[in-house]
Structure 1
Amino acid sequence: MNYRIFTEAGAKLRIDKWLWAARFFKTRSLAADAVDKGHVRIGGASVKPAKDVRVGDLVEIEIERIVWQVEVLGVCEVRGPASVAQTLYAETAQSKVKRQLEQERRRTYREPAADMHGRPTKRDRRIIDKFSGGD
């Protein structure tokens, strides 16, 4: 299949469609939802799903509390394979470092409540109160 990628300066596409085509989200509706919730910013400003993203724009995307800062290199109307999607953007060096640090922190840091399921038992409650200085 032929994937037409537009890289000229005037090329533009809806942000929700671009996020979907660049494979940041599995569906357009998930991309639009993230934009509506303020997890996507163009040039530092929150936008709506119909906002056009242009080649050269700096887009900030927050997915599961990991922030990607990417520069738009091209726009494509259709969603293609990952190899094609990766040509649509370039991640900033600062973003790569921050993202790798966050992934390493998540690998080594264990959430204290990860072993707990549901509400604490009476015994768990006593232990929590003992450590937190409660009565």
Structure 2
Amino acid sequence: MTDAVRLDKWLWATRFFKKRGMAQQAIKGGKVEINGASPKASRLVRCGDRLQITKGEVRFEVVVDEIGEKRVSAPLAQAMYTETGASRAARERLAEERRLKQAAGVAPSRRPDKRERRKLRQINRGD
């Protein structure tokens, strides 16, 4: 194994993103930080680096334990990093909130028809 690898390759290999291009877009969009700084996709990742990765509402805070360029199975990928306790607790709390929100709401019996979709769009746009 090497001692450093490109950030976009590492994110892809550890299965944070499905495609390397998606990892590059996330890095370019400021969704990934290394040691508190906004990197480029070509930035080298080394063991001990601290990454903050944002995917949608979820924010991962991980410490790099191993370096790898090849995409591996999910259990092996998870062994390449350690998620901080605060990050794990925040993710679990967010998941619980979503679960409670879904349980409290009543699911619609069917999809909205064309007329209802138009009304929803007007409401969302503020017309």
What TM-score range do you get, normalising by the shorter chain? 0.7 to 0.9
Distance 1:96 1:107 in 2: 17
Distance 2:26 2:95 in 1: 21
3-state SS in 1 of match to 2:51: strand
2:101 paired with 1:109:
yes
Deviations 1:54-78 (A, max 9, x none): 1000000001120000000011110
Deviations 1:5-56 (A, max 9, x none): x5xxxx2111100000000011101111111100000011111111111100
> TM-score, length-normalised on structure 1?
0.75
Which structure has greater helix proportion? 2
Q: Which amino acid aligns with 1:82?
A: A
Instruction: Please list every run of 5 or more consecutive structure 1 residues that lacks an aligned counterpart in the other structure.
Output: 126-135
Larger radius of gyration: 1
> TM-score, length-normalised on structure 2?
0.80
Q: Superposition pairs for residues 31-110 of structure 1, below 5 Å?
A: 31-110=23-102
Distance 1:21 1:106 in 2: 28
What's the offset of the Cα at 1:119? Answer: 4.1
RMSD across aligned positions (CA): 2.4
Percent identity among equivalent residues?
38
